[in-house]
Amino acid sequence: MGCHRFTSGDGTIVGHICMANIYKYDGLLFEYHSYLGPTQVKKDYSQRKRISKGFWDTVSKFEKLTDEEREEYLISS
C-alpha cells in the first residue's frame, strides 16, 4: 500500500493518504489492498462494475508470487 504525505511550503503536514497498490498481471488490472484484498479496476483505475471471467484464478496465481515477484507487476503505489 502506498502512503503519501502532503506538505505546505514550510514543511507542515497538511494531508496524508494511503492507496492500494495497482498491479497488471496476466492481462488484468487490479488493485490489491492489504486489508480488503483485490478489486478489478479499469484503465483509469476506477472499479469495474463486473469482474472479468478468470479474475479469481488470476488473483490466486498472483497471491502465490513472492513479494519480489509481485513488484515486477506493480504499476502504481
Q: Closest Cα to residue 73, out of 19, 3, 38, 22?
A: 22
For 39, list phi and psi in degrees, rounded to 5.
-140, 130
Inter-CA distances, 11 with 4, 17, 18, 53, 58, Å: 14, 16, 19, 47, 42
Per-residue pLDDT at 3: 72
- Domain-wise residue ranges, the chain: 20-76
Task: Categorize the per-residue pLDDT at 76 as very low, low, confident or very high, splitting at 50, 70 and 90.
Answer: confident
Measured CA to CA, the distance from residue 28 to residue 7 in angstroms comes to 34
Per-residue pLDDT at 57: 96
pLDDT tens per residue, range 8-47: 888 887 787 777 789 999 999 999 987 888 999 999 989 9
The pTM (predicted TM-score) of the whole model is 0.75
